[in-house]
Structure 1
Amino acid sequence: MSERAHHRPTAPGNHFFEAISSGVDPAELQEAADRAATLLVRGAHDSGDDAVAERLLHLADTEGIETIAEVWSASAGDSLAGCLWRLFLLRSWVYADPAGVAHQFEAGRAAAPVARVVAGVADPPGPDELKAMIDQVLRGIARGDFADVLFRASAFARVVATGRAGLPTTSEQEVARMLALAEQLEAAGHLELAHGLA
């Protein structure tokens, strides 16, 4: 019988007690967020129902991105909940500024040809084409392979990050944020292929 090493538990910080006093247990909230994400991704895919795909696509429209943020924004990038948050955030951004996004994508597509092809945006990539592409990607949660969804979203973010890097109006921080999003989604895609995304 092997002896297990004893680790002293880490004392919770002030935020833990603030959440408890407000009636919300952070562990229960995270568990609920994870369970909801699992039901949405795995349940929607297993349903094979186009209506489910459309409801999932418009979840941020009907519930509000703020509501989704409250549930999933604190989730790690290597979790289903964290992936859903990043995907819905990406869609909300495209819909909020389709012309600006199209400009950034156009600026990056020549320098990131492989990512451009993986993203699957129609040529030329105008605002309507980008909205159609991001919707098609999110419909893939229910209709396709979730790893493909993550890789396409990652490729799209990578092209945009490349475009941002070449535009004088974009800060290094904005480039870094989009590149980090691309890398998180790509890493999650590989995790999904290895059946490790939960």
Structure 2
Amino acid sequence: MRFHKPIPLPPDSIDATTPAPDQLEAAEMAHRSAAVLVDRGRASDDPELLQRLMDLPRTVGLQTLAEVWSARPARTLPGALWRLYVLDEWVQRAPEVVAEAFTAGASRAEVYRVISGVVEPPRPEDLRELTHQILSGVYEGDLDVALERAAAFCHVTATGLAVLHEDDGESSRSEQLRRAARLQETATDLQACAKLWLRGDLH
């Protein structure tokens, strides 16, 4: 995989896509690179390697990951990795915003709040630690658990986004609801990926 200089990419939409000029070659590269990274990480007990894998958006750039992974279907290994890294970047860049949404949704989605493992009310550092643990779980531990926790986190946060700022103007409110719907869709996709991984079908 050829790396480029990191280019900032706002994590406003977890389902953003980047079209590739050669779809077949791009698809093969996406699935191969995702499998290599996950296999290498899970086969190693080197903490430095684990840290490098978790820091990919900040070392190779989120735009580079988008070019390789974002066009793949959500319920594939590269699609799942893309969503996990974007989720982590969103939390790293806007932890207060995410914490507000998570808090607003926690009481309405208590089961998912428990699955996510986030204390309530969460502090920004709690959310950073959560996504750190989720990415760590991709490369060590149970990947299906990491995916389930990420899905639960997205579900609670989406619920919060849907109820926040209910008195805002129609345009602002509509955009908030669209963001909540996209995040809820991501939650559903990550749950499906967890099941696929357990069956050995997440590729």
Tell whether the structures are fold-level matches, with TM greater than 0.5: yes
Percent of matched pairs sharing the same residue: 40
8 Å Cα contact 2:106-2:120 kept in structure 1: no
Residue 112 (1) aligns with residue 112 (2): no
Q: Quick one: which of 149, 154, 172 aligns to 2:151?
A: 154
Contact 1:155–1:182 (8 Å) recurs in 2: yes
Question: Which residue of structure 2 lines up, in the alignment, with residue 57 of structure 1?
Answer: 54
1:73 aligns with 2:70: yes
**2:98 is equivalent to residue 101 of structure 1:** yes
Is 1:195 the counterpart of 2:200? The answer is: yes
Measure, in 2, the Cα distance between the counterparts of 1:172 and 1:47: 42
TM-score by length of 1: 0.85
The CA deviation string for residues 102-123 of structure 1, in whole angstroms up to 9 with x for no partner, is 0000001111111111111134
Given that residues 104 and 161 in structure 2 are in contact (C-alpha distance below 8 angstroms), is that contact kept between their aligned partners in structure 1? yes
Asked whether 1:176 is paired with 2:192, we answer: no
* Alignment gaps of 5+ in structure 2: 1-18
Whole-Å Cα distance in 2 between the matches of residues 40 and 192 of structure 1? 15
CA shift, 1:176, in A, is 0.5
Q: How does 1:3-42 map to 2 (within 5 A)?
A: 19=21, 25-42=22-39
Q: Which protein shows a greater Rg?
A: 1
Moved over 6 A (4+): none
In the alignment, structure 1 segments of 5+ residues that lack a partner are 1-15, 20-24
Q: How many residues align?
A: 177
Displacement of 1:26 after TM fit? Answer: 2.2
Partners of 1:188 and 1:156 in 2: how far apart? 15
Amino acid at match of 2:109: A
AA partner of residue 129 (structure 1): D
**CA-atom RMSD in angstroms:** 1.6
Task: Please say if residues 57 and 139 of structure 1, whose CA atoms lie closer than 8 Å, have aligned partners that are also in contact.
Answer: yes
